[in-house]
């Protein structure tokens, strides 16, 4: 009897649905995983849901196990934690993280999953993909002991970056956002918080993750001469103006990109993708990261939930999706 699973698909921009999908029998070197939780990465998945991935980026934006093509129909997502039900003995019964879309069960190569450490709850491990992005950004940024740092944009990625930077000895880390409710998240992460108008200047480093022109301009204003903005925002099909006049050149400011698709050049010869993911999961042993999970829904609610998130009806960081046993 052919087995099947249920998967969330974007049928067309703005419209999602849950579909039955065939489930192959795992072969040698493969694992069958039953999903426990997945996570909605609000920024990227909202962009995909509204059909905002530009044609020029259709290939680079593909998720590892994506099916279909942008703008749809497409099965997209990359934050999944599950239990290995079939596979090599060393993985059988283990809780694992995988860059897989929202689906009840799936079969992937054993090399595509990373075991979750015993001291990391499965529900927190859904953050691994985003914390991995933060790790790569911090490698790119290269903060120093005692640096004055701002993270502009308190979304899921910005908050993850702030949580990682909070561990830099002697650093002043401030999370900057227009939403005053993010102050509670900043407090839980052990960093400061400010509205953009009240943010502390004199920064050696600013990580920008607000995906807004205003946020990027404010990031430049917060820098000391010869300071650096690390740009993490993904703007999709939107054009962005960058204020390069006035004192930009005289202050010798730097704007550089960071993207998780490749390991940071500062670590590329010494760290693999697997090393980076394993590090992200080890960091998640710290319960402060629970502050980044701001809601939970059942898998079958995803079509309506994504519409609400994309429409701004729900203000979320990571929204966790729970899968019923069976």
Q: Which of the listed residues 239, 257, 275 is the one where a domain comes to its end?
A: 257
Q: Which of the listed residues 257, 275, 294 is the one where a domain comes to its end?
A: 257
Which residue has tokens 């911090």? Answer: 138
* Residues 84, 115 within the same domain: yes
* Residues 135, 238 within the same domain: yes
* Residues 135, 172 within the same domain: yes
- On whether residue 295 sits in a domain, the answer given is yes
The two structure tokens encoding residue 171: 């650093």
* Residues 123, 25 within the same domain: yes
- On whether residue 7 sits in a domain, the answer given is yes
Total domains present in the chain: 2
* Residues 148, 239 within the same domain: yes
pLDDT confidence of residue 142: 95
pTM attached to this predicted model: 0.92
- On whether residue 264 sits in a domain, the answer given is no
Which residue has tokens 């927190």? Answer: 124
- CATH code at position 139: 3.40.50.720
- On whether residue 263 sits in a domain, the answer given is no
The CA-based angle 36-41-46, given to 5 degrees, is 125
Distance of CA 29 to the CA centre of its chain: 28
pLDDT confidence of residue 2: 66
* Residues 177, 253 within the same domain: yes
Q: Decide if 11 contacts 76 (C-beta within 8 A).
A: no
Q: Distance of CA 136 to CAs 226, 269, 271, 318, Å? A: 22, 14, 11, 19
Q: Which of the listed residues 216, 238, 257 is the one where a domain comes to its end?
A: 257
pLDDT (tens digit, 0 to 9) for every residue of the chain, 326 residues total?
568 999 999 999 999 999 999 999 999 999 999 999 999 988 789 989 999 898 988 998 899 999 999 999 999 999 999 999 999 999 999 999 999 999 999 999 999 999 999 999 999 999 999 999 999 999 999 999 999 999 999 999 999 999 999 999 999 999 999 999 999 999 999 999 999 999 999 999 999 999 999 999 999 999 999 999 999 998 777 788 888 887 889 999 999 999 888 899 999 999 999 999 999 999 999 999 999 999 999 999 999 999 999 988 887 889 999 998 86
For 153-189, b where at least 16 C-beta lie within 10 A, e where not — what string? Answer: bbbbbbbbbbbbbbebeebbbbbbbeeeebbebbebb
- On whether residue 269 sits in a domain, the answer given is no
Q: Decide if 11 contacts 69 (C-beta within 8 A).
A: no
Q: Distance of CA 8 to CAs 38, 309, 314, Å? A: 11, 15, 19
- CATH code at position 82: 3.90.180.10
The CA distance from 323 to 298, in Å, is: 6
**Domain boundaries, position 230:** 130-257
Q: How many helices (H) and strands (E) in the chain?
A: 8, 17
Q: Decide if 203 contacts 222 (C-beta within 8 A).
A: yes
pLDDT confidence of residue 277: 95
- On whether residue 205 sits in a domain, the answer given is yes
- On whether residue 278 sits in a domain, the answer given is no
Contacts of 246 (CB under 8 A, 6+ apart): none
The two structure tokens encoding residue 193: 């918080």
For 215, counting Cβ atoms within 10 Å of its Cβ (0-12 exposed, 13-18 middle, 19+ buried), the class is: buried
Determine the straight-line distance between the first and last CA of the chain, rounded to whole angstroms: 17
* Residues 172, 186 within the same domain: yes
- On whether residue 266 sits in a domain, the answer given is no
């Amino acid at each position: 009897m052919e087995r099947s699973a249920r998967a969330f698909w974007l049928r067309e921009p703005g419209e999602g649905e849950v579909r039955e999908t065939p489930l192959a029998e795992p072969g040698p070197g493969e694992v069958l995983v039953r999903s426990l939780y997945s996570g909605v990465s609000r920024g990227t998945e909202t962009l995909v849901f509204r059909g905002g991935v530009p044609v020029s980026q259709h290939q680079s934006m593909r998720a590892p196990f994506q099916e279909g093509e942008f703008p749809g129909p497409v099965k997209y997502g990359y934050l999944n934690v599950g239990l290995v039900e079939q596979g090599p003995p060393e993985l059988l019964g283990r809780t694992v993280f995988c860059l897989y879309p929202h689906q009840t069960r799936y079969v992937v190569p054993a090399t595509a999953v990373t075991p979750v450490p015993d001291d990391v709850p499965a529900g927190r491990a859904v953050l691994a993909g985003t914390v991995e992005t933060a790790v790569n950004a911090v490698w790119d940024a290269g903060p120093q002991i005692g640096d004055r740092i701002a993270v502009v944009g308190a979304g899921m990625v910005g908050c993850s970056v702030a949580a990682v930077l909070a561990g830099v000895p002697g650093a002043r880390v401030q999370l900057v956002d227009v939403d005053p409710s993010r102050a509670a998240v900043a407090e839980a992460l052990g960093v400061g918080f400010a509205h953009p108008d009240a943010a502390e200047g004199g920064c050696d480093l600013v990580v920008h993750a607000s995906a807004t022109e205003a946020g990027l301009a404010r990031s430049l204003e917060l820098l000391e001469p010869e300071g650096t903005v690390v740009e993490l925002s993904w703007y999709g099909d939107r054009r962005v103006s960058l204020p390069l006049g006035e004192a930009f050149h005289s202050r010798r400011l730097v704007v550089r990109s960071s993207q998780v698709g490749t390991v940071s050049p500062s670590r590329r010869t010494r760290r693999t993708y697997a090393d980076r993911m394993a590090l992200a999961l080890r960091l998640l042993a710290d319960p402060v990261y629970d502050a980044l999970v701001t809601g939970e829904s059942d898998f079958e609610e995803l079509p309506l939930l994504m519409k609400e998130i994309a429409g701004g009806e729900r203000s979320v960081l990571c929204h966790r999706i729970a899968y019923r046993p069976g």
